[in-house]
Amino acid sequence: MIPDGFTIGGYFPGAIGQVVQAHAMYYREHWGFDVSFESQVARELGEFMGRYDPGRDGFWTARFDGSLLGSIAIDGNPENPDGARLRWFIVASEFRGKGLGSILISRAITFCRESGQKRIFLWTFRGLEAARVLYEKNGFTLAQEESVEQWGGIIVEQKYELVL
């Protein structure tokens, strides 16, 4: 169960580091990703927050008692022809399957609709079944997949899209 008193907010001091740490720890433990993954997340999330525009971009964190429970972002960079990009979606292991991911995804999709986005896309990889189910439940469809070598191994990268 999601704890009573958890909050959904935006940036807070330390948020970038905590989101990077959550991704690095999870993907190392469960998928064996190497340091190149953590440094890519840190670099790209830092760049995103440095150019963050609240009219087109969204960044949400779920917290309880000072701990990060999850995060999600929408990168609405108008130069991207594929639309708004859903990024840095993660839920702490102990809160998976309890509705927090659904709350975060709903927040991101609602933001895109309200800010006039026409399409949302995301990149993930085969094997993240709980996330795939959540994406498909919210209308995302698989648009592309290919095998790539990155982050210390070979993965089947997948692109999902949602037309709003």
Q: What CATH number is given to the structural domain containing 72?
A: 3.40.630.30
Confidence of residue 1 (pLDDT cuts 50, 70, 90): low
Largest CA distance in the chain: 42
Residue 135 maps to a domain:
no
Per the domain annotation, does 19 fall within a domain?
yes
Angle, helices 129-137/100-114, rounded to nearest 10 degrees: 40
138 domain-assigned? no
- Rounded CA-CA distance 104/10 in Å is 12
Q: How far apart are CA 81 and CA 89, in angstroms?
A: 21
* Domain encompassing residue 62: 7-117
Number of domains in the chain: 1
Give the per-residue pLDDT at 5: 77
Residue 64 lies in a domain: yes
Q: How far apart are the first and last CA of the chain?
A: 31
Measured at the alpha carbon of residue 77, what is the angle toward residues 12 and 160, in degrees to the nearest 5? 95
- In 3D space, the residue among 18, 92, 25 whose CA is nearest the CA of residue 49 turns out to be 18
The reply to whether 150 falls in a domain is no
156 Ramachandran zone, left/alpha/beta (phi>0; psi -120 to 50): beta
Is there a domain that residue 22 lies in?
Answer: yes
**Predicted TM-score (pTM) of this structure:** 0.91
In a domain, 136, yes or no: no
Structure tokens at 159: 């692109």
Render pLDDT for 23-40 as a digit per residue (tens, 0 to 9).
Answer: 999 999 998 989 999 999
Task: Give per-residue pLDDT as tens, 82-119.
Answer: 899 999 999 998 888 888 999 999 999 999 999 999 99
pLDDT in tens, 148-163: 777 777 778 889 999 9
